[in-house]
Each structure stands twice: as structure tokens, then as C-alpha cells.
Amino acid sequence: MKSKRPKPKKFHDAQYQKIIDQLHERMPGKDLQAHCTSIAEDILINYEGFEWIEKGPEFRGTPFDFFGLKNGAPYIIELKASLKSFNAPGETQKWRMWELLRRIEYLNIALLQLQLNKAQYRIFYDDDMEILFNGTKAPFEPIEAWIRERLG
């Protein structure tokens, strides 16, 4: 079964307008996301039904931003915030998340994407993550042929 991207949902942004107005496109992603912590917490608790969340550890290489419980199940939750688009984790971060899921039984995952200018969010849960972890399949043959042509 092919997984689909979850549909965007609206969140009430009036209480966060001062935060959003401080953000700009050239702001580094980490700084932008740090400003969005309260928005993410609000969405996770009040829109997505998490019973409890806390900031993730600040160890080097931690591939998630929050740890929480939903319906009694533990989740690692990654936040990606942007003014204009829905961003995804990089390859290394996705690999590290996948590795944690492989190592810790009963651990679940969520990816919360914020598109702030439209006051929209999208959230991927375990089953939705297949498209992010494995991507859409593109053939290697044209790439391989291109390299071989240059190697003579």
C-alpha cells in the first residue's frame, strides 16, 4: 500500500502572531524553530491529542525535538517549521530516527511540519513516515549511465 502525505490542517495563530511577525526567511532553521516551540506544543497537546510532551535532550545528534505520550504510547517528535513551506528532515536525521525506532521496542514517531504564513501544519505518524524514510523510487540507471559516460 502506497502511503500518502497527510493533508494540511489549520491552527489558530492569533495568539502567536507576535512570534510569527518576528520571523524572516533568512533566519537559520534552528533559530526559527526555537521561536516556534510554544506553537508546536499547543498543536501537539490541543490539536493532536498528546497527553504529555517535553523537549528532547540536547545531546549532539539527537534527531528529534520532543518526547511525548499519545494514547499512552511513547513518541519521538521532530519539528520542522518554515514561513512558506513544509520542510522535511535531512537524510542523516531520518536515518538516526529510523535507527532509534529499530532499537527501542514500542517507540513511535511523529513529524510535525509548520507552515507559519498560512497557519497550517501537517503531521506524519508512524505509518505516514514510509514516504519520508524510503522516498519515492527513482531509477538509478540514468544516473549511472551519466557517470559512466564521463568516466569514458
Domain for residue 111, yes or no? yes
**Domain enclosing residue 100, as ranges:** 9-151
Domain for residue 1, yes or no? no
Predicted TM-score (pTM) of this structure? 0.82
Domain for residue 106, yes or no? yes
Q: Centre a 10 Å sphere on the Cβ of residue 137 and count the other Cβ atoms it contains.
A: 6
Domain for residue 3, yes or no? no
CB 41 within 8 A of CB 53: yes
76 vs 17, more confident: 76
Domain for residue 4, yes or no? no
Q: Give residue 136's pLDDT band: very low, low, confident or very high (50, 70, 90).
A: low
Q: What is the CATH number of the domain that holds 49?
A: 3.40.1350
Domain for residue 74, yes or no? yes
Domain for residue 92, yes or no? yes
* Count of domains for the chain: 1
- Residue-wise pLDDT for 67-122, tens only, equals 999 999 999 999 999 988 898 888 888 889 888 988 999 999 999 999 998 999 99
Domain for residue 2, yes or no? no
- Residue-wise pLDDT for 18-27, tens only, equals 888 888 878 8
Q: At 14, is the secondary structure helix, strand, or coil?
A: helix
Distances (CA, A) of 27 to 22, 33, 54: 10, 10, 25
What does pLDDT average to over the chain?
Answer: 87
From 26-35, 43-52, 53-62, the region with the lowest mean pLDDT: 26-35
